[in-house]
Structure 1
Amino acid sequence: MDKLIGAGLALALLAGCASAAPLGNTACAPEGRTGTALTDWRAAGFVTDDADTAAWDLAACLASPDPGLRDGIGYEGLTALLRRGDVSDAVRLRLSARLGSQLSVADAAGVTAPFSALALSEVARTDRVDPFLTDAARADLVEAAAAYLESVSDYRGFDDSEGWRHGVAHGADLAMQLALNPAVDAAGLRRLRAAVGAQIVPAGGHAYVFGEPGRLARVILAIGQRNVFSADDWAGWFAGLADPAPLATWGEAYGSEVTLARVHNLRAFAEAAYIRASLSDAPGVAPISDGALSVLMALY
């Protein structure tokens, strides 16, 4: 958590250098819209004459306990503006700081941090498509993303009335966008890979049921596509996953709920990684297919 806070502060300092002028609303009322005006705006594709203010306003919706505002307005609206390339470099920088600082927010509803991570993945994507971060700021963002993914301990996924939290999956989405960025160096990729490794088998015997292993596997494929690590390096990483310690054998895992969850989660991750890697012809991905298969063979 200290690393997460430190990286967020570093991003905030950089954003402060970009602009000190206030922007927009602090509640979920983008450009003053509420109620049906918001749903109409969404239906119209979030068209606006002031994308910078709208983007800043939409970010406030990410903390809403209302899933319609949080997901359908905040996340979808911010994504639309960012993917159209409508948001300025200065505001993208400020958004990266704002969202990065919110990765450590522990609100009662448990929604601010995971949705900040999800929205931040879209900001990170724009840096890959149209770079705006300095090397130092990008490195801080990598550290913030990795520290957040490692820190997730609220494993709630979807609730019929409360919507999504999905902290691990959203953290993985952020890590994936950074892993795909050619400006992220080998040290950054190694840091992101370590963060993924920390959540493949979550502490406490939690069993994933909301697709988290597949989202984690996407990060590993993105890292593999960068073709930075050797086959031996990947083999060593997967060997660590396949090691049953502290159990003597994987057969012993069938004696308790906690260790059964470990087998379930690891198998789901390895299957997702194996299938995705086997279907890819990208250089650097073959060792992932081999490594994932070695894990599956150990488990079966």
Structure 2
Amino acid sequence: MSTGRVDQGRWLPRALLGFALLSPLSAWAEDACPPEGTDAGSLQLLKQQDFVVDDAATRNTLAIRLLGCLSSPDPTLRDGIAYEAITAWLRGNGLEADTRVRLRDDLYTMLQAPDAEGFARPFAALVLSEVARTDRIAPWMTPAERVAMVDHAVAYLRSVQDYRGFDNAQGWRHGVAHGSDWLMQLALNPALERPQLESMLTAIAAQAVPESAHAYVFGEPGRLARPVLYIAKRGVLADSDWSAWFLGLPERIGEREKAYSDTAWLARRHDLLAFLTSVYLEADQSADAQIKALKAPAVLALKIIP
């Protein structure tokens, strides 16, 4: 790797020399993309170097600064640099506890901010799934913080009304799928208890058969199925709980009198069939008894769909 020296004992990739010599974190523009001190070329070089930044201070600062690129309409910067870099550092245990807290809290703020282009919120949710994963692997949140994260994730998934998926020029806006990924990481966390799991199921039901009657075409039902499988794997809910949840889903399609004569009814039926089929197929292939037990209630729900 090509390196450059900025002061004694501190080595950095040449791509980040300008970044490292700038003023402290608090003085930088929050939404600059590329971050001040970098450009698209230097960030691409960093990617080619597998996002290796040996200097911890620079790596942690850059992780925060790259959040501004999550709203970029350029998928190379948004997906290929910001998301991939932060994920690599989180999965490689390369970010300090204070940085993880800052990422989490700034991403919560991003979820509440205006997002006219529709990129920031879905990618905030996706990075939050990686933050949630770090707490699952090596717990660092307090119980209250963990419950608060579930509340944020549930509120986000329920709130998604922008159902745009893939665009040939601008890449992905995948709000439902990214929210589902966030819930999946939370569902895998053994520290969460039944009330949080039930709250997640409520949000999943809301998007498995969305009231807006959007017909999914970008694989959302399969992504929504994943957290359901891992909630089942926890073994917290009884068979009767699962039967009640699955049998409640067909009611979301709408009035039976509109069957096959209303476009919204047909779209909801399409989404529910895709979701239940995804759950059934995954459960059928699973070796886990708790997950496999979802086959029966999924079939019951399928049978009562008109």
Q: Same fold (TM over 0.5)?
A: yes
Identify the range of structure 1 (159-168 vs 103-112) with the bigger mean alpha-carbon deviation.
103-112
Measured after TM superposition, the shift of residue 88 of structure 1 is: 0.8
1:205 equivalenced with 2:209 (yes/no): no
Measured after TM superposition, the shift of residue 25 of structure 1 is: 5.5
| Correspondence for 2:62 among 11, 33, 54 | 54
Percent identical: 46
| Correspondence for 2:168 among 136, 160, 168 | 160
1:184 equivalenced with 2:192 (yes/no): yes
Residue in 2 that maps onto 1:256: 262
Larger radius of gyration: 2
User: How has the CA–CA distance of structure 1 residues 297 and 255 changed in structure 2, closer, same or farther, with 3 Å as cutoff?
Assistant: same
Q: Tell me, in whole angstroms, the C-alpha distance in 1 between the residues paired with 2:76 and 2:105.
A: 24
| Correspondence for 1:271 among 277, 288, 292 | 277
User: How has the CA–CA distance of structure 1 residues 154 and 145 changed in structure 2, closer, same or farther, with 3 Å as cutoff?
Assistant: same
User: How has the CA–CA distance of structure 1 residues 77 and 25 changed in structure 2, closer, same or farther, with 3 Å as cutoff?
Assistant: farther
Residue in 1 that maps onto 2:247: 239
> Structure 1 runs of 4+ off > 6 angstroms?
none
Q: Which runs of 5+ in 1 are unaligned?
A: 1-20
1:34 equivalenced with 2:42 (yes/no): no
For residue 241 of structure 2, give the secondary structure of its aligned residue in structure 1: helix
User: How has the CA–CA distance of structure 1 residues 246 and 25 changed in structure 2, closer, same or farther, with 3 Å as cutoff?
Assistant: closer
Measured after TM superposition, the shift of residue 294 of structure 1 is: 1.4
Residue in 2 that maps onto 1:94: 102
| Correspondence for 1:216 among 224, 228, 236 | 224
Residue in 2 that maps onto 1:22: 26
Q: Tell me, in whole angstroms, the C-alpha distance in 1 between the residues paired with 2:91 and 2:295.
A: 32
Show CA shifts across 1:192-233 (max 9, x none). Answer: 111101101112221000000000000100111111100000
Measured after TM superposition, the shift of residue 40 of structure 1 is: 1.2
Judge conservation of contact 1:82–1:123 (CA < 8 Å) in 2: yes
| Correspondence for 1:123 among 131, 134, 139 | 131
1:287 equivalenced with 2:293 (yes/no): yes
Show CA shifts across 1:241-266 (max 9, x none). Answer: 133674237xx421111111011000
Identify the range of structure 1 (107-116 vs 53-62) with the bigger mean alpha-carbon deviation.
53-62
For residue 190 of structure 2, give the secondary structure of its aligned residue in structure 1: coil
Measured after TM superposition, the shift of residue 43 of structure 1 is: 1.4
| Counterpart amino acid of residue 26 in structure 2 | P
1:45 equivalenced with 2:53 (yes/no): no
Q: Tell me, in whole angstroms, the C-alpha distance in 2 between the residues paired with 1:89 and 1:217.
A: 31
Q: Tell me, in whole angstroms, the C-alpha distance in 1 between the residues paired with 2:210 and 2:114.
A: 19
User: How has the CA–CA distance of structure 1 residues 109 and 228 changed in structure 2, closer, same or farther, with 3 Å as cutoff?
Assistant: same
Judge conservation of contact 2:133–2:186 (CA < 8 Å) in 1: yes
Q: Tell me, in whole angstroms, the C-alpha distance in 1 between the residues paired with 2:123 and 2:27.
A: 20
Residue in 2 that maps onto 1:226: 234
For residue 238 of structure 1, give the secondary structure of its aligned residue in structure 2: helix
Measured after TM superposition, the shift of residue 33 of structure 1 is: 2.1
Q: Tell me, in whole angstroms, the C-alpha distance in 1 between the residues paired with 2:213 and 2:249.
A: 16
Q: Tell me, in whole angstroms, the C-alpha distance in 2 between the residues paired with 1:171 and 1:293.
A: 26
Q: Tell me, in whole angstroms, the C-alpha distance in 2 between the residues paired with 1:216 and 1:105.
A: 24
Measured after TM superposition, the shift of residue 162 of structure 1 is: 1.6
| Counterpart amino acid of residue 38 in structure 1 | L
Judge conservation of contact 1:221–1:273 (CA < 8 Å) in 2: yes
For residue 218 of structure 2, give the secondary structure of its aligned residue in structure 1: coil
More helix by share: 1
Judge conservation of contact 1:31–1:54 (CA < 8 Å) in 2: no
Q: Which runs of 5+ in 2 are unaligned?
A: 1-24
Q: Tell me, in whole angstroms, the C-alpha distance in 2 between the residues paired with 1:243 and 1:155.
A: 22
User: How has the CA–CA distance of structure 1 residues 89 and 283 changed in structure 2, closer, same or farther, with 3 Å as cutoff?
Assistant: farther
| Counterpart amino acid of residue 271 in structure 1 | T
For residue 293 of structure 2, give the secondary structure of its aligned residue in structure 1: helix
